């Protein structure tokens, strides 16, 4: 973890996540009846909860829309959920207006081209290890973990560490 990433993480007030390829492994599973399911990593979920407990707000912005994501966001207590929105920078503009925050106070974790405008604009824009190469090249940092395999946890812990909250977040479970 570089000093630059830790420096960028110090001022983060809002962490935003893409879903497919970030909170999931990126595969889409469709059943015969047309419904779909996704798998989520519990380590990622715990990281998001730890981040929220430290005072960082959270949001999901996804280009796809599915009830599974709504259920996961509700389960984790993520208050800001935007689905079916490919125009992620427009969505973020709306959210920043509501929360009275600036781009520099935002961290974003993504994996593909629709995430790139946000990754390039925010204070801490990161890509998962298996993100598209072009996205990895333009991100401030890249997780060591792949999407759906602990990348979101790593992202959350980076922010917690930068803000001096990681040890307390972990100690709360001792």
Binding residues for Mg(2+) are: 18, 111
For the CA atoms of 3, 40, 91, 109, the dihedral, rounded to the nearest 10 degrees, stands at 20
Q: Which of 153, 159, 163, 168 is nearest to 140 (CA)?
A: 159
The encoded tokens of residue 122 equal 């925010």
Q: Are strands 36-37 and 29-30 parallel, antiparallel or unpaired?
A: antiparallel
Q: Which of 120, 114, 110, 100 is nearest to 57 (CA)?
A: 100
Backbone phi, psi, residue 157, to 5°: -65, -30
Residue with tokens 């996961």: 72
**Binding site: residue ranges?**
18, 20, 111
**Binding site for substrate: residue ranges?**
20
């Amino acid at each position: 973890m570089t000093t630059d990433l830790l420096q960028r993480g110090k001022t983060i007030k809002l962490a935003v996540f893409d879903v497919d390829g970030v909170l999931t492994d990126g595969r889409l599973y469709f059943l015969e009846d047309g419904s779909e399911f996704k798998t989520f990593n519990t380590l990622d979920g715990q990281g998001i909860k730890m981040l929220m407990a430290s005072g960082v707000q959270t949001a999901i912005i996804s280009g796809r829309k599915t009830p599974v994501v709504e259920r996961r966001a509700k389960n984790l207590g993520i208050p800001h959920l935007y689905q079916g929105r490919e125009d992620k920078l427009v969505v973020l503009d709306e959210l920043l207006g509501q929360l009275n925050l600036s781009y520099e106070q935002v961290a974003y974790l993504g994996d593909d081209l629709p995430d790139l405008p946000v990754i390039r604009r925010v204070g801490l824009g990161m890509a998962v290890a298996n993100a598209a190469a072009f996205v990895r090249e333009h991100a401030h940092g890249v997780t060591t973990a792949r999407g759906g395999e602990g990348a979101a946890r790593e992202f959350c812990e980076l922010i917690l560490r930068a803000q001096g909250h990681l040890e307390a977040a972990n100690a709360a479970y001792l």
